[in-house]
């Protein structure tokens, strides 16, 4: 009888934790479902944009500000590189946190009911799961932004190659820049085509388009190319030769970065290989040494 009463006293807090975890998971799911409702129509959005700003920020503004305060969060340039809005970025981080809270909460309570995990550690496991899910999401977005920036730099080298080749074939200065933008389908080429198409009504020069594109993507090499073009045009230097030199230096920098990354990846394999060798030796040697 004493044993059954002790088990009942132990199960009371466990069932209490299970009940409140289910209630919290249901509340989080309802909150997330309400937050993920479709965006307003274009007319409503335009009305909000043109209306005078009120002093109280909206709920999405608050969430966006909180996500931006987290370490490793992307800025506006990083969000452009992965082609994602700030609202969607914050909403995805919130969704990952809610999903992790639900999964880790149910799993931790199930382990607590089974007697594997102490009930006191259930809230700690839930907090660790939520933080880990958000950190993994931010790290994934940072990796995607870095890969997109690297791809834009490779596209820039290809673009400069085509421009230099067109200039060597006696093409016009602005004509070569426009024709080279039509030869690719990457993110840089699409942005250049869009901005160059807008120059027909704004009257800006194509060098300014390159400079603004570099600022838009946060790639310094594009701004350096526009500065080189400006200096070459003002001093009368051969533009094709200047672009070829810029392309060679950019490719040398990309090649050096790829070589460094390859060495780092090779060095990261040392610890797993050593660990696997030690485990294999232990599996082989231990039965021979056992009595």
What tens-digit pLDDT sequence spans the chain (291 residues)? 444 444 444 446 656 666 666 667 666 666 655 555 545 445 445 544 554 444 444 555 555 566 666 666 788 888 888 888 888 888 888 888 888 888 888 888 888 888 888 888 888 888 898 889 988 999 999 999 999 999 999 999 889 888 888 887 777 777 888 888 888 888 899 989 988 888 877 777 888 888 888 888 888 888 888 887 777 766 655 777 777 788 888 888 888 888 888 888 787 778 888 888 888 777 777 666 655
**In angstroms, what CA-CA distances link 44 with 67, 182, 256?**
26, 36, 50
Our CA dihedral for 38, 217, 151, 89, rounded to 10 degrees, sits at -30
Domain chopping of the chain, boundaries = 12-29+59-147, 151-250
Alpha helices in 51-172, H assignment, sequence order: 59-68, 76-81, 86-114, 122-168
Instruction: Determine contact, residues 26/101, Cβ cutoff 8 Å.
Output: no
Distance in angstroms between the alpha carbons of the first and the last residue of the chain: 45
């Amino acid at each position: 009888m004493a044993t059954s009463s002790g088990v009942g006293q132990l199960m009371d807090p466990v069932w209490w934790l299970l009940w409140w975890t289910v209630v919290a998971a249901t509340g989080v799911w309802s909150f997330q479902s309400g937050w993920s409702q479709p965006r307003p129509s274009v007319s409503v959005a335009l009305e909000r944009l043109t209306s005078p700003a009120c002093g109280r920020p909206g709920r999405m503004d608050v969430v966006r500000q909180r996500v931006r305060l987290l370490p490793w969060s992307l800025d506006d340039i990083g969000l452009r590189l992965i082609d994602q809005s700030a609202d969607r970025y914050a909403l995805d981080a919130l969704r990952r946190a809610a999903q992790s809270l639900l999964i880790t909460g149910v799993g931790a309570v199930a382990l607590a009911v089974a007697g594997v995990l102490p009930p006191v550690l259930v809230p700690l496991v839930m907090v660790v799961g939520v933080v880990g899910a958000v950190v993994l999401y931010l790290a994934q977005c940072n990796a995607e932004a870095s890969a997109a920036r690297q791809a834009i730099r490779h596209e820039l080298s290809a673009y400069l190659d085509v421009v230099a080749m067109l200039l060597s074939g006696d093409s016009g200065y602005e004509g070569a820049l426009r024709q080279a933008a039509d030869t690719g389908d990457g993110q840089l080429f699409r942005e250049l085509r869009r901005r160059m198409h807008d120059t027909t009504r704004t009257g800006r020069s194509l060098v300014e388009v390159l400079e603004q594109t570099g600022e838009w993507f946060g790639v310094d090499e594009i701004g350096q190319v526009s500065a080189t073009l400006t200096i070459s045009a003002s001093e009368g230097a051969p533009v094709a030769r200047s672009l070829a030199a810029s392309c060679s230096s950019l490719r040398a920098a990309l090649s050096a970065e790829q070589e460094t990354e390859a060495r780092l990846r090779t060095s990261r394999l040392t610890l797993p290989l050593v660990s696997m060798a030690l485990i294999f030796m232990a599996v082989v040697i231990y039965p021979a040494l056992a009595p």
